Structure 1
Amino acid sequence: MTDRVGNGNVTSGVREGDRLWSPSAERVEAAELTRFMRWLALERGYSFPDYNALWTWSVDDLEGFWSAIWEYFDIISDERPESVVIGEGIFDAKWFVGTHTNYAEHVLRHEAKAEPGETALCHSSEIRPIAQMSWQDLGGRVRKLATKMRAMGIIPGDRIVSYMPNTPEAVIAMLATVAIGAVWSSAAPEFGHKTVVDRFSQIEPKLAFVSDGYSFNGKVFDRRDDVSAIVNALDHLKHVVWFDYMGFGCALSTDAEIISFDAMIEGPPVMRETFQYERVPADHPLWVLYSSGTTGLPKAIVHGHAGMIAEHLKVMALHCNLGPSKRMFFYTTTGWMMWNSVISALITGASAVLYDGSPVHGGVDMLWRLASDTRTTCFGASPTLVDNMKKAGVRPGKSFDLSAMDMVLLGGAPATPETFQWFYENVAEDFWVNSQSGGTDLCSGLAVGLPIQPVYAGEIQCRGLGIAMEVWNEGGRSILDEVGELVVTRPFPTAPLGFWGDDSRSRYYESYFGTFPGIWRHGDLAKINCRGGVYVYGRSDSTLNRFGVRIGTAEIYRVLERVSGVKDSLIICVETDGGGFYMPLFVSLDANTTLTDALRKEIVSRLRVDASPRHVPDEIHAVPEIPYTLTGKKMEIPIRKLVMGMDVDKAASRDAMAKPAALDWFIEFVRQRAGR
């Protein structure tokens, strides 16, 4: 199965860059990307010998490539684009000028093509068994809800917010909002009210969809008090749609009109032929997503309809190979951009698989049971979640029928070579392990999968079509086979329209373009190799600097995953007086493990041998728990700021944390260190 062609570090029998899998000729032939390349040759006269040649054309000729995407996927608009893109710079580029489109229309156009009863959504939760919703049911409920929202006075441009779990009701609410040209924004019900108000108050919503609570790992959470605090803090709110998910009932006291979700989708059908989607200009807001907000007010990131339609059709069909008969699952909540990505699978005609609850409710292998029962074809999860399964000894391929599955999608954090190998050893030998990297900023991927080429351990297969991604050194020069800053040098259609309320666009410019003027600096430390594969090593603003050498935090975590007794870890590096550096390592340990001198020596030895002497920390400390954001990111930067002496309220927001108490140990650590 493994043809060793890599030249990376060696651990556990697999090296960074080892070839783990190659697609069969039949898979390549059936890939949507292959069909697209044939179409380009037939319709446009463009013939490319390989993917790298196709990619080079796609970034050199943005007009030609994105017009081909528009035509190939038959994007619906009242008119063809006057210009695909105007402007050479990302910051001020204008996309698909003159068009009027609607994202929801492109999702629900598959209703007309679907067989009666054909599945659009598979869904379940801790309190609901697995069920299915057909394209006809989904479209019908969206039209009813959208029509009633219009009757309530919701007009294009109004902001609509959601505090709902990952259920079909949330999908219906999102599509109905978008269908009438209103602007969608979502937070998950596990978010505390202050975190939600920090987000939603920026955009002044007119209507809110809210849920009474949720269940996680068998425990029921009543969120009615949080809902009340949120609703009463939003001064512009006129309507509240109440989703009685847990059966607690509505207990709101507010001046806003309150109506039940069920009432909003009742009544006579609204026929597909008579319903009018609100087709809006390309720069009309589609949705607002938010940065993590761990060190300040979250950025309210605005995306547009036309750019997101074109990008999601491209990435989901060509890079994820999704389409009718496929089913996509990714473990997420409604507060993370991956929820939007799961719903975007529908734009290809694929089904979306939803789950609300703990990933280990009923057993650590619960998600694999769900994948088997729903006949999921694309299984998605973060590498951290997968590594926990690996440590628990889960062997999904032996326990479940996963014969429908042909692809795994890893996202949310860098995936190690060992994580790749685990899938081939424990799930199936012949399937596609697809790692991607992008983020909330663009609600898509920069480095993505490629169904027609081999999988190499730890390596993201390629740069996305139409994405002029490079890696630059500190001098602003493009480099290969070296670690540097991940940048994008030419316009791409899902660059944010801006941040809500940032009328001067100064905060937007400072966030992405301040380091290399006019060039998008994504904030990741990465490497591109000579075949076009990509490695991401973590956030560049949490880069470790050891004796002048930049080290990605993922390099440390990869080694520590193999140290028995170490459950999780976090490492930072801070500058000290006199130009030195201080690099402490924090580890959380298994229940029956303590940080002995022997364990310290083993950690140091593993890092020295499996990585390098520069990877060895100055100190190792045991902590009760590693702090994470609500969206599952390790809080490296806030902890670094805390250790550097920043006030805790400025360094980290507890409201943006999954477990706020995890910060307490670090506060005491800094206090004691300051008293030395």
Structure 2
Amino acid sequence: MNSDTAPLWQPGPDELTRSNLARFATAYGFDPADYATLHRWSISELDAFWNAVWDFTGVIGERGDIALERAGESEMFGARWYPQASLNFAENLLCGDDTRLAVIEAGEDGDLRRVTMGELRALVARAQSGLRRLGVARGDCVAGILPNNVDALVALLATASLGAVWASCSPDFGAPGIIDRAGQVNPKVLIAARSYVYNGKRFSLDENLALVMKGLRGLEHLVVTADEPSPLVACGVNCQTWKAMCDNAGATLTFERVPFAHPLYVMFTSGTTGLPKGIVHTTGGVLLQHRKEHMLHCDVRPGDVMSWYTNTAWMMYHWVISGLASHAAVVLYDGAPIVKRNDGLDHGVLWRVAEKAGVTHFGTSPRYLASLAEAQYEPGRLHDLSGLRSVLSAGAPVSAEQFDWLYRAVSKDMMFASISGGTEIIGCFVLGSPLHPVRRGEIACKGLGMAVDVLDERGASVIGRKGDLVCTEPFPSAPLTFWGENGNARFHAAYYEARPGIWTHGDLAEQTARDSVIIYGRTDTTLKPGGVRIGTAEIYRVVEAQPEIQDCIVFGRAIPDDEEVVLCVVMKDGYAMDDGFIARLRSEVRQKASPRHVPRHVYQVSAVPYTINGKRVEGAARSIVAGKPVKNLGSLANPDCLDEYAALRIEEHA
């Protein structure tokens, strides 16, 4: 067997018989060893499949008799799921015995705060009472500027319990970035921290809050999660502390049940190509998709502990907290993933938290994994990870070498799953499962209920060739609309215009003969030298393996009738880029990717532009080098670094 396709991990007897997915398959008449047939049923009998998910996962609420109403016989856009249903999102998450562990709060110091379900319900009841006093009711919008802690989770759940809509921003967003997001939804109440801690330093938010308050319309109340009120007493709205709002110790928790399609979250895109799009997600769609993904694909069981390094604005935060509905505990970590200490970088903070908390499902990103591998940090050797059953990664493609590193440095006996979907669907198109072997560089399977395919420019399904990742049948977590004027039209144009009746997601992908999937990056960053589409992930895989390189970014530059590949690299301390190094690098790319992947230009830079959520922004670099403006600098964590890229354009044309 080819070493590249030999499994790194295979399901054992427990996964094949006692996993949630195996039990689900058996309960509905399928052989757990025949996932292909189960998947075909899940996308051809949508009503039966999603009803089965509702029942098997124990969704709390009234389902009704109708699962799906289509807008047209072959139309995805406008499909209505469970039009007779009635449920509440918070009611489904705040489930189980009072004594069960619900939340583990952690920070850079490694100290843990454990919160039981009974304690969490009491906190949500008090916050619900306070929001109700402020006039928040079904359909109103509440926004948060909060770190990843218990207060943020309580605020979200209290909002959802009332049938109100939640929109969040991370506190490390600048004021323009917050206004671009929260300003779209005109919240009735804004709940904000006055400071946050990152890399051992405390950062004040008062100045940003002052600017944000000037930029929001229709705001009635500001609530600050601090012991003292914000100094913004003259901002024209009522201002109070979180403690004062939550002062009703005898509050009784109630749940306002809403229709399946009732708005739950407004999630925002990165906004690097313009104003961030406000994506409206539905109560039932979020819950049902997450219940399926957690229970069936991730095998989350009662008593498990789920963690994901994320901030409160990224969809993975919303994804992981839904684990409460599976009777799992969730870890809320606030701080840096790698902390600067007096004696150097501390790569182990998240793993010490995982060890103390007994994490079973550890969520991360390729960039973090690369940092650990570079530092030769081996979590499996340095920490007791005996409870770990799964590592999950999102945010970018995971290279084959990172698969190898995980099974060498973390654990040989775990399911690793690279998962891919997006903010647009608040879930996954492709991911892993306890019934699938793990092969390096591949995403194990298409999600149940997700009619995923890869189409070429003709619209033909292709195997073993790159094409557009699409979905050809409706699914519950498709957005309700885009927030704001002409929301439906903008939503349709974004995902259905390219192929009428088919969701075109915007990923360059390949499906294998065994129905696994490889993601090569976003199509808006896809390179096309000589008219052939290639993914940036293939170049990153080679370049990031070079020991001299700290970081890199690759993008295309238009030339007459063609496109050339541009690579910018950040060199590690002590290394310099010279002609010999560039020649060796190009040779590596030619041999390990293809001649078409070889960069025409290689430049040394001091930094790579990233979003606040930690994603490379190839589009920003490409625009600057082409002499075009970057439309939304507020979405970047380090916009100043783009000055270097502007100089590259001057250098090229000098």
The TM-score bracket by the shorter chain reads over 0.9
Q: CA deviation at 1:133?
A: 0.6
Question: 1:94 aligned to 74, 80, 93, which one?
Answer: 80
Q: Indicate the SS of the match to 1:101.
A: coil
**Counterparts of 2:317 and 2:67, CA distance in 1:** 31
Residue identity in the other structure for 1:250: S
Question: 2:517 aligned to 519, 525, 534, which one?
Answer: 534
Q: CA deviation at 1:517?
A: 1.7
In the alignment, what sits opposite 1:129?
Answer: 111
Q: How do residues 562-601 of structure 1 correspond to structure 2 at under 5 angstroms?
A: 562-577=545-560, 579-601=561-583
Q: Indicate the SS of the match to 1:389.
A: helix
Q: Indicate the SS of the match to 2:40.
A: helix
Q: Indicate the SS of the match to 2:470.
A: strand
Question: 1:192 aligned to 174, 182, 191, which one?
Answer: 174
Residues 517/400 of structure 1: CA separation in 2 closer, same or farther (3 Å cut): same
Question: 1:58 aligned to 38, 42, 54, which one?
Answer: 42
Deviates more, 1:542-551 or 1:524-533: 542-551
Deviates more, 1:171-180 or 1:450-459: 450-459
Q: How do residues 8-157 of structure 1 correspond to structure 2 at under 5 angstroms?
A: 15=4, 17-41=5-29, 50-78=34-62, 80-87=64-71, 88-110=74-96, 114=97, 116-126=98-108, 129-157=111-139
1:297 matches 2:275? yes
Q: How do residues 446-595 of structure 1 correspond to structure 2 at under 5 angstroms?
A: 446-503=429-486, 505-577=488-560, 579-595=561-577
1:669 matches 2:652? no
Whether the 8 Å CA contact 2:22–2:32 is kept in 1: the answer is no
Whether the 8 Å CA contact 1:40–1:47 is kept in 2: the answer is no
Residue identity in the other structure for 1:40: Y
Q: CA deviation at 1:226?
A: 0.5
Q: How do residues 6-405 of structure 1 correspond to structure 2 at under 5 angstroms?
A: 15=4, 17-41=5-29, 50-78=34-62, 80-87=64-71, 88-110=74-96, 114=97, 116-126=98-108, 129-244=111-226, 250-252=230-232, 253-271=234-252, 275-361=253-339, 362=341, 363-405=346-388
Residue identity in the other structure for 1:669: L
Q: Indicate the SS of the match to 2:586.
A: helix
Residues 641/518 of structure 1: CA separation in 2 closer, same or farther (3 Å cut): farther
**Counterparts of 1:502 and 1:346, CA distance in 2:** 35
Q: CA deviation at 1:296?
A: 0.5
Residue identity in the other structure for 1:605: S
**Counterparts of 1:128 and 1:457, CA distance in 2:** 32
Residue identity in the other structure for 2:83: V
**Counterparts of 2:465 and 2:485, CA distance in 1:** 36
Whether the 8 Å CA contact 1:211–1:223 is kept in 2: the answer is yes
In the alignment, what sits opposite 1:11?
Answer: none
Q: Indicate the SS of the match to 1:311.
A: helix
**Counterparts of 1:336 and 1:619, CA distance in 2:** 33
Whether the 8 Å CA contact 1:502–1:508 is kept in 2: the answer is no
Q: CA deviation at 1:40?
A: 1.1
**Counterparts of 2:316 and 2:380, CA distance in 1:** 25
Q: Indicate the SS of the match to 2:528.
A: strand
Residue identity in the other structure for 1:442: I
Q: Indicate the SS of the match to 1:544.
A: coil
Consecutive unaligned residues of structure 2, counting only runs of 5 or more, are: none
**CA-atom RMSD, angstroms?**
1.6
**Counterparts of 2:18 and 2:104, CA distance in 1:** 25
Consecutive unaligned residues of structure 1, counting only runs of 5 or more, are: 7-14
Q: CA deviation at 1:597?
A: 1.6
Deviates more, 1:26-35 or 1:331-340: 26-35
**Counterparts of 1:255 and 1:81, CA distance in 2:** 49
Identity of paired residues, percent? 35
Deviates more, 1:20-29 or 1:259-268: 259-268
Residues 389/306 of structure 1: CA separation in 2 closer, same or farther (3 Å cut): same
Residue identity in the other structure for 1:92: G
Question: 2:586 aligned to 604, 629, 641, which one?
Answer: 604
Deviates more, 1:247-256 or 1:480-489: 247-256
Residue identity in the other structure for 1:180: L
**Counterparts of 1:558 and 1:78, CA distance in 2:** 48
Q: How do residues 396-475 of structure 1 correspond to structure 2 at under 5 angstroms?
A: 396-475=379-458
Whether the 8 Å CA contact 2:280–2:480 is kept in 1: the answer is yes
Q: Indicate the SS of the match to 1:189.
A: coil
In the alignment, what sits opposite 1:12?
Answer: none
Residue identity in the other structure for 1:260: T
Q: CA deviation at 1:250?
A: 2.2
Q: CA deviation at 1:18?
A: 3.3
Q: CA deviation at 1:47?
A: 5.7
Q: CA deviation at 1:609?
A: 1.2
**Counterparts of 1:520 and 1:342, CA distance in 2:** 25
Whether the 8 Å CA contact 2:391–2:415 is kept in 1: the answer is yes
Q: Could you give the per-residue CA deviations for residues 133-180 of structure 1, whole angstroms, max 9, x where no partner exists?
A: 111111111112112211221111101000000001000000000010
Whether the 8 Å CA contact 1:212–1:248 is kept in 2: the answer is no
Residue identity in the other structure for 2:15: R
Residue identity in the other structure for 2:204: D
**Counterparts of 2:300 and 2:102, CA distance in 1:** 13
Q: Indicate the SS of the match to 1:220.
A: strand
